[in-house]
Amino acid sequence: MKKILEYQRIEGELINIDKKINQSNSMKAIAQFNDSSNTAKNEMKELDKKAGELVNAFHKLEDIMQKNINNIRNLEKQKVEASDKEQMKKLYENIKTVNDNLNIIEKRLSDINKNIDLVLKKFQKNKALIANAKDKKVKAQNDLEEYKKSFDEQKNKLQKELEKLQKEITPNVFELYQRVRKENIYPVFVKALQEDNQTRCGKCKSIIPVARIDKLKNQGYIECEECRRIILLDKKD
Ligand SMILES: [Zn+2]
């Protein structure tokens, strides 16, 4: 058991190194650049959709405008042929209405144009933002590689110690350890704990039922039913 506990301790050092790398500033920066790139990309998708809608609205209005222009031409023709005053008055009124419509349409078209410009500007801004984030991400990735490399020697040393120790550990004890480790659980072995007159798992502190304490005493270890760790008897020697 002493050897496997030493093995566990060394593996803990390796885990701590990986944790340090994962929590490094470069790693955080990379995640941040990914985030801002994704936000910009999503916004660009929305802008693209909006631009499409604006262009459609623009074409529809253009059609309506053309129809109104044709209307005016027709009315102007009728004006030339009109004979009585009443008919003339009506024609003038109609022309005025169509003209008013045209003015409204023209204003709407200009508004749509302004909106399209705005969308394009935002699109370009996001494009620049993504390019910038990409450059910074490359730099952060290089920094991260450098940082990782700075641990290479230490990690190799620990890895070799583990290999050496493994040969000295009883195979079924090692198998037990590996089986739990595969579930990304660390530490695997914990000592039983006495608290409130109960024997508990040293990690999650769940109570070990009396019936299982016997097994723990006989076998020297049991698996925690809560956190899956291997609970060892805490021999006070
Ligand atoms: Zn537990």
Share of the chain above pLDDT 90, in %: 85
Q: Which residue has the higher pLDDT, 219 or 24?
A: 24
The verdict on 121 and 31 lying in the same domain is yes
pLDDT tens digits along 61-102: 999 999 999 988 998 888 778 778 888 888 889 889 999 999
Residue 99 lies in a domain: yes
Three-class DSSP category at 82: coil
User: 232: CA distance to ligand 1 center in Å?
Assistant: 11
Local structure of 108: helix, strand or coil: helix
- Please state, in angstroms and rounded to a whole number, the distance separating the CA atoms of residues 122 and 109: 20
Based on the structure, what is the number of domains in the chain?
Answer: 2
Q: At what angle do helices 2-22 and 171-181 cross, to 10 degrees?
A: 30
In this prediction the pTM is 0.73
Inform me whether the pLDDT recorded for 48 exceeds 80.
yes
17: pLDDT strictly greater than 50: yes
Query: Residue 234 pLDDT more than 90?
Result: no
CA–centroid distance, 230 to ligand 1, in Å, is 8
Whether residue 162 lies inside any domain: the answer is no
Q: Where are the beta strands (DSSP E) in the chain?
A: 189-191, 193-195, 198-200, 221-223, 230-232
Question: Does residue 132 sit in the same domain as residue 217?
Answer: no
pLDDT at residue 146 greater than cutoff 70: yes
Range of the domain at 202: 170-232
Q: Residue 203 Cα, ligand 1 centroid: separation in angstroms?
A: 5
8 CA to middle of ligand 1, Å? Answer: 17
